Every structure is written in C-alpha cells, then in structure tokens.
Structure 1
C-alpha cells in the first residue's frame, strides 16, 4: 500500500468542505491518509480516538457525503479517485471486495453506491428518457476485474423530484423566508439533530438570528434547495467560534474577600 496520499483542491477548497468544523476536516484528512489504495478503511473509531475526533464529526462527513459507510463498519472515501492516482505497479487492490463491487465511479471520479433495487427511494432520481446536455451520460461500473478493464454503462435522462414534504405531525419550530417569499419550516427533529452535530452552538438562538438576517436581507434570501445548506454553513461557523472561545477563554478565578 502506498505511503503517500494526495488531496484535490476541488474537494478540500469547496464550500461544503470548508463549512465543516475544523475537527471534522481533520478527521477527513486522517481517514484519507490511512485508507487503502482504493480508499477503504475499517478502523474509523480508532482514528477518531487517536486524533480526539467525535462521533458527530464522522456523522457529519457521512451526512455531507464525503465518506460512504457500509453496514459492517467499513467506510470508503467518496472522492478517493479525484484525490489520488496510483500507477498499476504500485497499486494494491483492496481486500474489501464485497463492498468494492457495490460501487460505481462517476465521470468526475467520485464513488457512488450501486442501487440493487429497481424501485427508487426518496434519495434516488427517477429515469425518464434520453439524456440531454444537462445530465452526466455515463458511469464507470467497478467490479472485481476493474483493474485494466472498465465497462461503460450509458445512463438515461434522470429527473430528480423535489424533496418530499415533511409529515404533518412534525413539530414546527421556526420558519425561514425564502427568495420567493414562501416560508420554509424548521422542525423539532432537525433542531435536535443539529444540536447533536454542533454541541457548542445554541441552535434555536442561531435559527432566530438566521430568520432576522433573511428578513433584513431580502435580496440574499435562499432557494428551497439551498436553505438547508445555508443553515448548515451558519451552524458550522458558529461551532468553530464556540470551540475557539472554549480553548482561549481564561479560567475564572473566584474572588475571596480578605479581612
């Protein structure tokens, strides 16, 4: 296995990456340094303990799709092939062949999980026809005989539906005004999840600040598709500020009256 690893600026200079807390970014770099030559590793917990990262850091990497998890605890770096290229004489094939066979690689070099069922779920796109100029037309399918041989699978036009509307029984907490003047509701389960991912942040208070900012800056309001990214970016910045304040804050010394 190679001892050196590379990182693509396309990945690590992206807003999605830089908006994450520094501890999450550090975990990504350490996972990438210790992955095998296909981007797989099976000791994420050990690496977390080694660098002082938390489960929330790993959850955030998974949520933002920088790593892809498997049921048996193995993970793969999604953008591994964008980051690294190895000569065949220096390449050692991964031992995780079962998981490897479940992946395809897109035209941009990133991994994607192959769907075993023909029925789309809420996270898939529905195929509807012939590709036009706006879709990626091909994917490279990976299998056990991937090295030196790839099979090109032409995809067909995919139309991604709008995100499903939330169930009516969810608790509405606060609404954020969108660029079309409609209201996007934030729900209690989302606040709870963000509170776990960003423990240094008062999530509800920051949501109030976001609402005020959006109301005061109508020209910079977000779309329905972009509002959750806006929320995550805001909370990530506040998380980093909270950690910095915690580390630099001087200890409080209680004053004792002298008589």
Structure 2
C-alpha cells in the first residue's frame, strides 16, 4: 500500500464533504489515506480509537455516498469516488488483496464505484476495468455500456435495464432480449476466429527465414514442427493437393500436444502448492492456461502468477475449496501473470 495519497481542493470544497460533521470529515480523510490502490479499506481499531469514530460516523459517510458498505462484511468499506480522487500510475499500481470485494464492484462513467450492476451509467465491472489497464481516457462510453448490459443479460437471463439503440431510444421488449441461439452462434464464430488467428500465427513462425524459430524466442519449440513439416512436404511431393492439409494437421497437432503438456504441468504445480485438488478436466481453467501460453508467457511467469494468487487465497477461508479457487484463478490469473512479467522486466 502506498505511503502517500493525493488530496485536491475540489474534494475539500465538495458539498458532500463540507456538510459532514467534523468527526466524519476526519474519518473520511483517514480512510482515504489507508485505502489500498483499488480504494478498498479495512475498518481499523487504530483509526476508530484515535478519532473516537463510531458507527454513526460510518453511517453518515455512507448516507452521503462517500463510502460503500459491503453487505455481510462490517469491516470493509469502499471509497466511492476513489478513481476520481486518486491517479495511480500503472507501474506503481498494486491490486487489492480483497479480490472478492472488488468482484462485486462496477464502474460508472464518472469512474465512481457502485454495487448496482443495472445502474444505467455502468460501463464495466471493476475486475474487467483493472484487467484492461484501468483506462481513464475513454471518449465514448456508449459501446461499453451496451456491451456491459448485454453481458448482464447473458449471465442473468433477464435485466431490469433496457439496452438502448445508438440514438438513445429503447427498443421493443423482443429486441431487448438476447436470444440464446444468437449468443451461442456469436460464441462459435468468435472461437473459430481465435482458432484461425492461432493457426496463422504458427504458420508464419514456422515459415520464417531463421529455420522455424520465428521472431519470438519464447516459441522456439516450433523448430521441431518446421522439420516435420518439411518431411511431410517431401513425402507428398507428388501430391500437391494433399500437401497443405498434411502440413497443417502435423503443425497443429504438435502445437496442441506441446500446450497440453504445459497445461498439465501447470495443474500439477497448482495442486502441489494448494490444499485443494483441482481436476485437470476443468476446461475453463485449462483454457486460461492455454491462452497465457499462446500469448507468449513462459511457464515460470504463469507459476509466479499462481503463487501470487495463492498468497491471497490462503488468507481467505472462502477460497479453500476447489470450485471457488478455480473461479478465482480464472478471473485473475491473466492479470497477475502480466504484472509478474512487468515487475521482473523493471527489475532487470
């Protein structure tokens, strides 16, 4: 957690702040100082005793909309306008340890937090916004708002907030409903598109002039693919109609086998440091591992990402079973792996 926080005149001159009691003003400033980089702060006996803060002061801040209370958790508070008050550079940003709290938060177009995912001004979940690098230079929120509303409808089946057309009008109920067939069709098209990109990427690497090594040293394993591809081409020299199909099948099969071995070793590593035993047929987690591998992350980077998440999960009883731990990894492993790589690069 940072040792310094910024305070602006606009905050101190805001009517919500000015109308607070003096005790609640002091409490709010202390909460700002002790909040983590996501604006989440744990209620501290030290703060309460120094300020003689009571539940009444916390309630006053909640009623003014300055902090958010979390249902079922009396210790944690969220600074509502944290992202408007504080600007934290990417290299200095450190994610909250309260990942289960952040997963309940959503971002409005003024970058303030809310627990209401159906708020018409919400454009993203907090987790998704952090994963994308916490951008605060968004020019047009409408496409993001529409995407968020569709995700809510897709997840819940229904939504109390109508999806708007580009002109701001609300369509008919039939148009507002997302048809399951359309969703499945869209997902299939996206999956096919991603598979095509992977195949093209590996074909380019294996046909490069440096013997199949490609431009990325992390994909050096494709050297053997290039050799086998040449052998297959020689054997099918007289049958050009089958050449492309054989090359692609051999190439893709080798890439798939390499990934499967690495994914399997990642499951072994995870279960070796965890008290749970997540089965290797967990397709969603396997897909996350596979995505990270295809994005060029080394197995050591992914393992360090797993280590960082396990350090958080081991402190929280709610992540001690395999279902909740797998969900935590699926949601946050790409983010933590990316941060691990950035930190090691800056140290170099």
TM score, norm. by length of structure 2: 0.36
Q: Which structure shows the higher helix fraction?
A: 2
TM-score, normalisation: structure 1: 0.48
Which structure would you say has the larger RCO, counting Cα contacts within 8 Å and 6 or more residues apart? 1
